[in-house]
Structure 1
Amino acid sequence: MLLDLFMRRLIRTGTLELRYPDGTLRRYGNGQGPVAGMALRTPRAERRMVLNPTLAAGELYMDGELEPEGCSLYELLDLLVVNLWYGGGHPAEQVVTAARTLLRRLEQLNPAGRARRNVAHHYDLNGRLYALFLDRDRQYSCAYFRRGDETLEEAQEAKKRHIAAKLRLNRPGLEVLDIGCGWGGMALTLARDWGARVTGITLSEEQLQLARQRAAEAGLADRVRFELMDYRAWRRPVDRIVSIGMFEHVGIAHYRSFFRKVRDALKPDGVALIHAIGRQSGPGATNPWLAKYIFPGGYSPALSEVLPAVEKAGLWLTDLEILRLHYALTLREWRRRFAANRDAIQALYDERFCRMFEFYLAGCELAFRRTDHMNWQMQLVREKEALPLTRDWMWETERAAVEA
């Protein structure tokens, strides 16, 4: 049995109890904790776990051919991720990952039309779905946990405040471009609390509609506007640029053009803040299941892939912060809220969709908790004199906002 041989090699930490389609139960690992169980329901499931496990595991769970046994999905994935990441990996998966790394420039070609289709795949889902597991402001990106025990709402407010402070909004009326504005929460916050005039751009019809509605309801339509626009179509210089959770969708072949656009769109004394997911251990490839079902065209880059594009654009990197576990804490809260509202979400879609999202949320939380994934926030300027000599002003601005 090939799967038996692979599992003997793969599971070195903890214990996996694997029930095969014929009912045979085999144990793998060191006999110690943590312990997780998995049942494969069909011979097809067994074959697929040999050939391409990182794609097959998610698909088989969605179809009910792979089930956790005696544990939760999160506990099962935790055991598998720890062994895949620290134990050398599944032989077939190593080959697939190497091939995807070689082909990633082709997979991530993201001209405007394809970018819009990729965005629609995930962000144009039923709007009520996101209301059922995100915070009230619908922040669909990493929150900022100063202590670690905040509510999701508190942590997302802290994230917006943290980013606003880095933008140096030191006078009213500064014009801000929000690239990938989501449902408008950051743009509305910058206008309401920081006196900015904001244009948010998105490729999602669903997000655009709700963002415009929120601006009108908040009485901010005269200071915040939202447009259905690709960032490459922007033509006017602004005082500030913010982009949160959008850079992962740019595509590695487009990094230089993205940062050239940032430079061209900034006034000489302008400031930009880019917030995105990255990886600590160097260039890699997007998980094939995640690329197929959740974020087609998406990729979380190593900073070694990003910084050359920043340099070639002629931008100054004035601050770089790495958020290591903040997204794991964020995803934990999303996963809990999704579980609490699972019946309502199933009514919107179906059981297979719920399983897909459960696998996505659990797998991504573990990517940030157990592997090399993290978030980075990059502050950029055109001119070296655009900001004060030291970074004290950022902390003073944020502290004042907290105390206000």
Structure 2
Amino acid sequence: MLMLLDRVLDGLIRYGDVTLIDADGNTHRYGGRPFTDVPLEHRPGPVTLRLTDKALHRRLVTNPALAFGEGYMNGGIEIDQGTLRDTLNCLMFNMYRGDGHWLLEFQSRVNGGLRWMHQNNPVHVARKNVAHHYDLSGELYDLFLDVDRQYSCAYFPTGTESLDVAQEAKKRHIAAKLLLEPGMRVLDIGCGWGGMALYLAREFGVHVTGVTLSTEQLTVARRRANEEGLDAQVTFHLLDYRLVEDSFDRIVSVGMFEHVGASHYDEFFEKVRALLKPDGVALLHTIGRPDPPGGTNPWIRKYIFPGGYSPALSETMAAVERQGLIGCDVEMLRLHYALTLRHWSERFAANREKAKALYDERFCRMWEFYLLASEMAFRHESHMIFQIQLARHQEAVPLTRDYITEFEKRVPLRLQQAEDAAKAKVAAAAEGAAEASAKVKTPV
């Protein structure tokens, strides 16, 4: 089996500099080609991996996507040279831009063929899957998310924004596409900790109903609404979207569609249409894939998002069409999630000891693997965000997209203003100190 593993890796890793020390102490070298088409700041350095578990000789051949993550989590794979970022950057670059390997391609096809089973999410299963991830300690999420606990892709107009500003920009960008007016009734499907619902109510005077399947998120969202005095405008419920019975002027769903499952897409959009008023507008913000439908990485499916799946645009829009909805606008946000995940992983690393105190070392290794592997998926697999604006009637939105840009010019980013003011204050203080120093006479 060790000989087969060596052949697989030799065929797969053509770029970079990777050394593997197997569990028997033998050293293997792979790669050699330079990363000529990768920006310098994203090029991984040399990597040396050490296997401490002989079972990985077999498992890395028979189920590499699951075995590598588990091997790192459990300490069966140690990194002697380089970092986990270097490792995943190099390996995923080779997997998705290199020559590939027939065994990995075969396993990917099998995984995609079984997705009907992996993504079966009836109401009771959906609640269990959500609890697996979102009912973790709230303290954990405070270690790496922004101040508003936005656990979805941020929006970087220039790419240089702080995480907090980029998350506010995301909320503003979505609000622009919702064409809100005071007094409108809005449904937030998968409301998380309430940040989007509270933002829309606070800034635009709408009434928002948020639904979630996470008890932890519900508790936080309700507390936040109470603290902000928005109880009369915002209500949160522990409820599956399929059980909502009402009608709404606007519907928004951010980072929830990935948990629906491809076999439930028609059910999802049928419900959106039923809940949306005839002249209403809906906005779907979801992770997506630019290639044909497939499956979910086995490690991510087992440890991070059971029942989760990144949809292809083709299968999403096919379901939209079947349910009689009109796709008014489709925007692809490329690399925005890679930037978001970079912020998250750096924040988690800075607070790793606190996370370890909450859980343990194995959990920390799992979480850092999840954040970094996800970032590399958005860099190398070309995963991206789809923002799909939907309506029941063609005249529900303006003829051109100019209204989005005009809205964003009119509505300021308060956090950006606060950060700019703070920077200006620091700069002014520094300038004043320099002037004072210059006036001091040198003693004779």
CA displacement 1:128-186 (0-9 Å, x = unmatched):
100111001000000000011111000000000000010000x2111100000000000
Who is 2:374 aligned against?
A: 364
The match for 2:16 among 11, 14, 28 is 14
In 1, distance between residues paired with 2:112 and 2:404? Answer: 38
Who is 1:65 aligned against?
A: 76
In 2, distance between residues paired with 1:391 and 1:58? Answer: 43
CA displacement 1:40-94 (0-9 Å, x = unmatched):
1121122211211110000000000101221000101111101111224344322
Alpha-carbon RMSD across the aligned residues, in angstroms, is: 1.2
**SS of alignment partner, residue 231 of structure 2:** coil
The match for 2:255 among 234, 237, 245 is 245
CA displacement 1:1-38 (0-9 Å, x = unmatched):
11111111111111211111122221111265652221
**SS of alignment partner, residue 252 of structure 2:** strand
What amino acid maps onto 2:24 in structure 1? Answer: D
In 2, distance between residues paired with 1:201 and 1:45? Answer: 43
In 2, distance between residues paired with 1:388 and 1:339? Answer: 45
Who is 1:384 aligned against?
A: 394
Who is 1:54 aligned against?
A: 65
**SS of alignment partner, residue 165 of structure 1:** helix
8 Å CA contact 1:191–1:197 kept in 2: the answer is: yes
What amino acid maps onto 2:368 in structure 1? Answer: E
In 2, distance between residues paired with 1:36 and 1:342? Answer: 22
Who is 1:101 aligned against?
A: 112
The match for 1:92 among 94, 103, 113 is 103
Which stretch of the first structure deviates more once superposed, 375-384 or 390-399? Answer: 390-399
Who is 1:259 aligned against?
A: 269
Structure 2 unpaired stretches of 5+:
36-44, 415-444
Aligned-pair CA distance for 1:228? 0.4
Q: 1:305 and 2:315 equivalent? A: yes
In 2, distance between residues paired with 1:231 and 1:85? Answer: 36
**SS of alignment partner, residue 360 of structure 1:** helix
What amino acid maps onto 1:76 in structure 2? Answer: T
* Identity between Structure 1 and Structure 2 (%): 58
Which stretch of the first structure deviates more once superposed, 25-34 or 110-119? Answer: 25-34
Aligned-pair CA distance for 1:231? 0.6
What amino acid maps onto 1:16 in structure 2? Answer: V
8 Å CA contact 1:52–1:92 kept in 2: the answer is: no
The match for 1:194 among 198, 201, 204 is 204
In 2, distance between residues paired with 1:394 and 1:22? Answer: 60
Q: 1:116 and 2:139 equivalent? A: no
Aligned-pair CA distance for 1:377? 0.2
8 Å CA contact 1:325–1:368 kept in 2: the answer is: yes
Q: 1:315 to 1:32 in 2, by over 3 A?
A: closer
In 1, distance between residues paired with 2:103 and 2:62? Answer: 6
**SS of alignment partner, residue 150 of structure 1:** coil
**SS of alignment partner, residue 158 of structure 1:** helix
Q: 1:221 and 2:252 equivalent? A: no
Aligned-pair CA distance for 1:256? 0.6
Q: 1:177 and 2:187 equivalent? A: yes
CA displacement 1:224-278 (0-9 Å, x = unmatched):
0100010100111100000000000001001011111111111111000000000
The match for 2:403 among 369, 373, 393 is 393
Who is 1:125 aligned against?
A: 136
The match for 1:43 among 47, 54, 57 is 54
8 Å CA contact 2:169–2:413 kept in 1: the answer is: no
In 1, distance between residues paired with 2:325 and 2:8? Answer: 48
In 2, distance between residues paired with 1:50 and 1:91? Answer: 12
**SS of alignment partner, residue 170 of structure 2:** helix
Q: How many residues align?
A: 403
**SS of alignment partner, residue 227 of structure 1:** strand
Who is 2:419 aligned against?
A: none
In 1, distance between residues paired with 2:232 and 2:96? Answer: 50
**SS of alignment partner, residue 38 of structure 1:** strand
In 2, distance between residues paired with 1:39 and 1:312? Answer: 51
In 2, distance between residues paired with 1:347 and 1:165? Answer: 41
Who is 2:27 aligned against?
A: 25
In 1, distance between residues paired with 2:166 and 2:302? Answer: 30
CA displacement 1:100-139 (0-9 Å, x = unmatched):
1111112111100000000000000011100111001000
**SS of alignment partner, residue 144 of structure 2:** coil
Aligned-pair CA distance for 1:403? 7.2
CA displacement 1:300-359 (0-9 Å, x = unmatched):
011011011101111111111000100000000000000000001001000000000010
**SS of alignment partner, residue 69 of structure 1:** strand
In 2, distance between residues paired with 1:98 and 1:145? Answer: 34
**SS of alignment partner, residue 281 of structure 1:** coil
Relative to the length of structure 1, the TM-score reads 0.98
What amino acid maps onto 2:22 in structure 1? Answer: Y
The match for 2:158 among 144, 147, 152 is 147
Which stretch of the first structure deviates more once superposed, 290-299 or 63-72? Answer: 63-72
In 2, distance between residues paired with 1:126 and 1:395? Answer: 38
Who is 2:41 aligned against?
A: none
What amino acid maps onto 2:399 in structure 1? Answer: L
The match for 1:2 among 1, 4, 20 is 4
